[in-house]
Amino acid sequence: MNHMNFNSRRILVTGASSGLGRQMACQLALQHHADLILVARRQEYLQELKVELESSAGIHCQIIVADLSQPEDVERVFVDATAYGEVYGVILNAGITHFGKHFTLPWEGFQTMLATNVTSVVRLTNLFVPYLLERNSGGGIMYVSSMAGLLPVPYQAAYAGTKAFITNFIQSLQQELRDDPVSLTVFSPGGIDTAMTQNSKLKFFENTALLQDVVPCAHEALVAMASRKLLYVPGHLNRAQLFLTRFAPRGLVGLITQSTYKKALASA
């Protein structure tokens, strides 16, 4: 298949109100002149972004206020997005984490994480893949996973588990769809310097090489999606780290991560 062309196409972005999702939406509008379907829980942030991008980029934004941990909201995202024009691309970026000892995560919190990070993603995949195949427009879906889905991450155990599921589920599905006119891309960043990081226990990593600036990260994400990469890890340091872990025992990789994250937890 040819590369995706976002120009004047409708692209849906979940988790669009802040962080990586917001930055990808801005770049899609300003650099690719894409029309956007912005999905997040906070209406005031979505409305502010809509006004900003429609004014500065001359594109059209549809906003959908939704909590993707709620099944009825997930269904409504698909219905509302497809009711007002053809959807060409989907970026499933919304996700939540827990940084701390696993057994301090309430069961309800784990269920919410599972619903947001896994169940909603599978359901939207089940809805959008047949939709894109039926239209035969050469569209695609990008899944924002994480390096936590490729490596053990103590103190983010549940989050790492959800991202490992998405990484393996989508890579498996890619092979089932290899002869079909739709692309699935797994985008797996490491830490990103966003407001969420700055306002959390992960602030320990702020101003270190372990956090990638959100602007180049978003750019790499859109390039990976457009070029239909199967799995893409952004940032030279992240790729080097992932390469080196191939030669180290799994237990040693986990021990190094445990030591680093334990210090971050203690400093919070």
Mind listing the pLDDT tens digit for each residue in 92-107?
Answer: 999 999 989 999 999 9
For strands 191-193 and 211-213, give the pairing.
parallel
Residues annotated catalytic, as ranges: 159
Model pLDDT, residue 243: 75
In CATH, the architecture of 10-267 is 3-Layer(aba) Sandwich (3.40)
pLDDT score, position 207: 47
Provide the whole-model pTM: 0.90
pLDDT score recorded for residue 107? 98
Q: How far is Cα 196 from Cα 251, in angstroms, rounded to an integer?
A: 29
Residue 254 confidence (pLDDT): 62
Per-residue pLDDT, 263: 65
Low-confidence ranges of the chain (pLDDT < 70): 194-210, 245, 247-249, 252-254, 256-257, 259-268
As a whole number of angstroms, the distance between CA 125 and CA 122 comes to 5
pLDDT score at 215: 95
Q: In angstroms, rounded to a whole number, what is the distance separating the alpha carbons of residues 17 and 53?
A: 12
Query: What pLDDT is stored for residue 204 in this prediction?
Result: 45
> What is the per-residue pLDDT for 253?
60
Q: How far apart are CA 53 and CA 23, in angstroms?
A: 11
What pLDDT does residue 256 have? Answer: 61
| Contact in structure between 155 and 100 (CB atoms under 8 Å) | yes
CA angle, corner 121, sides to 217 and 91, nearest 5?
35
